[in-house]
Protein backbone atom coordinates (compact mmCIF):
# COMPACT_ATOMS: atom_id res chain seq x y z
CA UNK A 1 0.00 0.00 0.00
CA UNK A 2 1.16 3.48 -0.77
CA UNK A 3 0.58 6.86 0.80
CA UNK A 4 -2.16 8.76 -0.98
CA UNK A 5 -0.34 12.14 -1.27
CA UNK A 6 1.27 11.48 -4.67
CA UNK A 7 -2.08 10.46 -6.17
CA UNK A 8 -3.79 13.55 -4.75
CA UNK A 9 -1.20 15.93 -6.18
CA UNK A 10 -1.42 14.24 -9.60
CA UNK A 11 -5.24 14.35 -9.49
CA UNK A 12 -5.20 18.08 -8.65
CA UNK A 13 -2.72 18.91 -11.43
CA UNK A 14 -4.32 16.95 -14.31
CA UNK A 15 -7.72 16.39 -15.89
CA UNK A 16 -9.66 13.22 -15.13
CA UNK A 17 -8.74 11.71 -18.52
CA UNK A 18 -5.03 12.53 -18.02
CA UNK A 19 -5.08 11.01 -14.51
CA UNK A 20 -6.62 7.76 -15.81
CA UNK A 21 -4.13 7.65 -18.70
CA UNK A 22 -1.15 8.06 -16.34
CA UNK A 23 -2.32 5.67 -13.63
CA UNK A 24 -4.16 2.40 -13.23
CA UNK A 25 -7.88 3.30 -13.01
CA UNK A 26 -8.69 0.62 -10.39
CA UNK A 27 -7.74 1.15 -6.73
CA UNK A 28 -8.60 0.04 -3.26
CA UNK A 29 -8.68 2.90 -0.78
CA UNK A 30 -8.26 2.32 2.97
CA UNK A 31 -9.56 5.01 5.23
CA UNK A 32 -8.10 5.74 8.66
CA UNK A 33 -9.50 3.89 11.64
CA UNK A 34 -11.16 6.09 14.26
CA UNK A 35 -8.41 7.34 16.59
CA UNK A 36 -10.04 5.80 19.66
CA UNK A 37 -9.67 2.29 18.18
CA UNK A 38 -6.30 2.73 16.48
CA UNK A 39 -3.54 0.86 18.26
CA UNK A 40 -0.39 2.67 17.30
CA UNK A 41 2.71 2.65 19.41
CA UNK A 42 6.44 2.23 19.20
CA UNK A 43 7.46 -0.98 17.45
CA UNK A 44 8.62 -3.72 19.77
CA UNK A 45 12.15 -4.93 19.06
CA UNK A 46 12.89 -8.51 19.98
CA UNK A 47 15.38 -11.19 19.06
CA UNK A 48 12.83 -13.97 19.55
CA UNK A 49 11.22 -15.74 16.62
CA UNK A 50 7.45 -15.50 16.92
CA UNK A 51 4.36 -15.38 14.74
CA UNK A 52 3.48 -11.84 13.66
CA UNK A 53 -0.05 -10.70 14.36
CA UNK A 54 -2.07 -10.32 11.19
CA UNK A 55 -5.00 -8.43 12.70
CA UNK A 56 -3.15 -5.18 13.44
CA UNK A 57 -3.14 -2.41 10.85
CA UNK A 58 0.31 -0.73 10.85
CA UNK A 59 -1.22 2.29 9.07
CA UNK A 60 -4.35 2.62 11.20
CA UNK A 61 -4.32 6.43 11.31
CA UNK A 62 -3.51 6.97 7.60
CA UNK A 63 -5.27 6.97 4.27
CA UNK A 64 -3.59 4.34 2.06
CA UNK A 65 -4.10 3.33 -1.56
CA UNK A 66 -3.22 0.26 -3.60
CA UNK A 67 -3.61 -0.26 -7.34
CA UNK A 68 -5.62 -3.33 -8.32
CA UNK A 69 -3.68 -5.44 -10.81
CA UNK A 70 -4.22 -8.90 -12.23
CA UNK A 71 -1.86 -11.52 -10.88
CA UNK A 72 0.42 -12.88 -13.60
CA UNK A 73 -0.79 -16.30 -14.68
CA UNK A 74 -4.40 -15.77 -13.56
CA UNK A 75 -6.47 -17.98 -15.89
CA UNK A 76 -9.62 -15.80 -15.64
CA UNK A 77 -9.23 -12.59 -17.68
CA UNK A 78 -12.73 -11.36 -16.82
CA UNK A 79 -12.41 -11.16 -13.01
CA UNK A 80 -10.28 -10.17 -10.05
CA UNK A 81 -10.08 -12.49 -7.08
CA UNK A 82 -9.83 -11.09 -3.56
CA UNK A 83 -8.89 -13.17 -0.55
CA UNK A 84 -6.30 -14.48 1.86
CA UNK A 85 -4.86 -17.12 -0.52
CA UNK A 86 -1.53 -16.19 -2.15
CA UNK A 87 -2.87 -16.98 -5.64
CA UNK A 88 -5.57 -14.27 -5.43
CA UNK A 89 -5.13 -11.07 -7.45
CA UNK A 90 -5.59 -8.96 -4.32
CA UNK A 91 -4.28 -10.64 -1.15
CA UNK A 92 -5.74 -9.42 2.15
CA UNK A 93 -3.95 -11.10 5.04
CA UNK A 94 -6.54 -10.79 7.79
CA UNK A 95 -8.07 -13.70 9.72
CA UNK A 96 -11.60 -12.44 8.99
CA UNK A 97 -11.05 -12.71 5.20
CA UNK A 98 -11.77 -16.03 3.46
CA UNK A 99 -9.17 -17.74 1.25
CA UNK A 100 -11.22 -16.64 -1.76
CA UNK A 101 -13.44 -13.94 -0.32
CA UNK A 102 -14.83 -12.41 -3.53
CA UNK A 103 -14.61 -12.24 -7.28
CA UNK A 104 -15.07 -8.88 -9.02
CA UNK A 105 -16.24 -9.29 -12.61
CA UNK A 106 -14.92 -6.91 -15.26
CA UNK A 107 -17.72 -5.75 -17.54
CA UNK A 108 -16.85 -3.66 -20.56
CA UNK A 109 -19.59 -1.29 -21.75
CA UNK A 110 -21.21 -2.53 -24.96
CA UNK A 111 -20.69 -6.25 -24.27
Show me where the domains of the chain are located.
1-68, 71-111
- Report the chain's terminal Cα–Cα distance, integer Å: 33
Identify which has the larger pLDDT, 56 or 19: 19
So what's the pLDDT on residue 62? 80
Instruction: Specify the CATH number of the domain 71-111.
Output: 2.60.200.20
Q: How far is CA 107 from CA 16, 21, 34, 110, in A?
A: 21, 19, 35, 9
Q: pLDDT, tens digit, for every residue of 28-70?
A: 777 787 654 445 555 556 566 555 555 566 777 788 877 777 8
pLDDT band at 99 (very low <50, low <70, confident <90, very high): very high
User: What average pLDDT does the chain have?
Assistant: 76
pLDDT at 15 over 70: yes
Q: How far is CA 50 from CA 4, 21, 26, 37, in A?
A: 32, 44, 36, 25
pLDDT at 97 over 60: yes
Amino acid sequence: MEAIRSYLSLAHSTTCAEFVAQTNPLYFLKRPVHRATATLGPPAISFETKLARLDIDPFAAEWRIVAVKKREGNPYPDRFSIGRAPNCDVVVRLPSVSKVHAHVLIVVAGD
